[in-house]
Amino acid sequence: MPAGKSNRPDIRARRLPDNEIEDNFGDMHPPLSRSEALIEADRCYFCYDAPCTTACPTGIDIPGFIQKIRSDNIKGSARTILQENIMGGMCARVCPTEVLCEEACVRNAHEEKPVRIGLLQRYATDPVYKEDIRLFHRGPESGKKVAVVGAGPAGLSCAHRLSVLGHSVVVFDRNSKPGGLNEYGIAAYKTVHDFAQREAQWILDIGGIELRNDSVLGEDVTLASLIDDFDAVFLGIGLGDVNRLGIDNEDIEGVIDAVDYIAKLRQARDKGSLPVARRIVVIGGGMTAIDIAVQSKRLGAEIVDIVYRRGPGQMGASGYEQGFAQTSGVTIRHWARPVRILGEKFVTGVEFERTMLDDNGKLIGTGEKSTIEADVVFRAVGQLLGSDLPESAAASLKMHNGKLSVSGDRKTSIDGVWAGGDCVAGGDDLTVTAVQDGKVAAHSIDRYLRGE
């Protein structure tokens, strides 16, 4: 469609029957039955110095928890998982096991399929939330009080471990529900039946943790006041702003931040009520790009293209996720970067330039142009710290590439302040890594508060 054509874009709700949408947003990976779990557990070699455990960012004893499944000790298996990763239930659903523990599985070396570690982890942990099994208890009161900013994976992990260690915690979160990206930013078919809230509530129910929702850093509380009022502070504020494309015509109707739409979809009780375009272009190559593209197809979009400036090997999304998108009807186009949004009052398409690497490995444009028609363009080109950390606070914290610099034990440049999760430099923006950050920081804070 040429730029400037006056026909309105084809965007509407109810592109598919309600029952089809319900099926499309059912559980992506149905849980294993007992017999299936026992068969799968029997495939584990129970390696000494298991490479799967080494590959897990939280260091879960994977052969240990699988062995307990074999002996029908499901509660013990769950404890083995959750003592290292308190969000083991969510990570069993969303962790890219195909490039972490399962990729490291020694069965891969024998050209076999790896043990399905993620599904076994879910089998062990699901009963904990379903039956509200208490595996951990609050430690003896230390008399110390810690502020945690952000109720996402890093913040909840830190708060829970601090409570186990006997410290009191107040969690401040800008949203009306805890969970962070687990609640607002993950594809709806990966975590169904309000699981993110059930897991978050189970974590908070240990006691000693006060949750203050709708509390924004820089508006309702300041970093300076938290430092004054608490014995230590942990920042798990995530990434609040979305990168722009930086191209002509980017602000016209129909250019949408993918993370905003995903959040609306996650919170919608009636997913069919959300308007979806017939033709969609997603710009980006990470998990957000995959999630918005696949969910758009499942809402009834007819044509969905993901366009990425480099090759498949450089995409942030794993090869498994890329393949999943393609088998879901999404087209992935590589080696193209957007140069202009087409349209006057609203989007009609995107103009791209073909890209390549020069002799020095630098990405350059070839001058060759092409266009893709679109009713909606989703931006999915990464997020940045932005307004979640006010300038007054950012000025006193050491930064690296737009994120917070932290030491190995997650200390920031300010004494008494730690940070973890997506807001810190050097991370990989995974739930499992954020959980580990919170856990490591909690133990460092504990040593600090005890004068060690």
Render pLDDT for 232-271 as a digit per residue (tens, 0 to 9).
999 999 987 888 999 999 999 999 999 999 999 999 999 9
- Helix (H/G/I), strand (E/B), else coil: 358: coil
Mark which of 318, 347, 379 sits at the end of a domain: 379
d(CA 291, CA 101): 22
Q: What is the DSSP letter of 336?
A: E
For residue 135, being part of any structural domain is answered with no
CATH number for the domain harbouring residue 229 = 3.50.50.60
Structure tokens that stand for 396 in this block: 């006193």
Taking Cα atoms as reference points, which of 153, 236, 135 lies closest to residue 196? 153
Q: Are 415 and 269 in contact (CB under 8 A)?
A: no
| Of 176, 170, 51, 44, nearest in space to 117 by CA | 44
* Phi/psi at 368 (5° precision): -80, 125
Q: Tokens in use for 93?
A: 């659903």
Q: Does 327 score more than 90 pLDDT? A: yes
The enclosing H or E element of 172 equals: strand 168-172
Residue 28's Cβ-side half-sphere holds a number of Cα atoms within 13 Å equal to 21
340 and 398 both lie in a single domain: no
Same-domain check for residues 315 and 329: yes
- What CATH number is associated with residue 99? 1.10.1060.10
Task: Please check whether residues 91 and 59 belong to one and the same domain.
Answer: yes
- % pLDDT > 90, the chain: 83
- Please indicate, yes or no, whether residues 288 and 374 belong to a single structural domain of this protein: yes
Domain shared by 186 and 274, yes or no? no
Query: Where is the domain boundary, 342, 359, 379?
Result: 379
The answer to whether 146 and 418 have CB atoms below 8 angstroms apart is no
**What pLDDT is attached to residue 2?**
44
Q: Report pLDDT for 1.
A: 40
269-317 confidence digits (pLDDT tens): 999 999 999 999 999 999 999 999 999 999 999 999 999 999 999 999 9
pLDDT digits (tens, 9 = 90+) for 26-79: 888 889 999 999 999 999 999 989 999 999 999 999 999 999 999 999 999 999
* Domain that residue 310 falls in: 11-26+242-379
CB-hemisphere CA count at 13 Å for 421?
30
Instruction: Please check whether residues 271 and 359 belong to one and the same domain.
Output: yes
Shared-domain flag, residues 222 and 298: no
What's the pLDDT at 391? 60
Residues 298 and 220 grouped into a single domain = no
Segment among 126-130, 183-187, 377-381, 400-404 with least mean pLDDT: 400-404
DSSP 113: P
The answer to whether residue 177 sits within a structural domain is yes
Do residues 364 and 410 both lie within one domain? Answer: no
Please tell me the distance from the alpha carbon of residue 57 to that of residue 72, in angstroms, as a whole number: 26
| Cβ atoms within 10 Å, residue 390 | 14
Structure-block tokens of residue 220? 């309702």
Residue where a domain terminates, one of 379, 398, 425:
379
Which residue, 30, 233, 43, 150, is CA-closest to 423?
150
**DSSP three-state, residue 162:** helix
263 shares its domain with 274: yes
Q: Please calculate the CA angle 180-129-96 and round it to the nearest 5 degrees.
A: 55
Assigned domain for 5 exists? no
Per-chain mean pLDDT for the chain: 92
Q: Are residues 234 and 253 in the same domain?
A: no
CA distances to 19, 242, 307 from 276, rounded to whole Å, are 17, 21, 19
40, 48 Cβ separation under 8 angstroms: no
- For residues 158 and 439, is the Cβ–Cβ distance under 8 A? yes
> Do 324 and 371 belong to one domain?
yes
Q: CA 319 to CA 309: how far, in whole Å?
A: 16
What pLDDT sits at residue 390? 59
β 349-357/363-373 pair status? antiparallel
In a domain, 139, yes or no: no
Q: What local confidence, expressed as pLDDT, does residue 373 receive?
A: 96
Q: Note whether residue 136 is domain-resident.
A: no
In a domain, 6, yes or no: no
* Number of domains within the chain: 3
Q: Is 18 among the domain residues?
A: yes
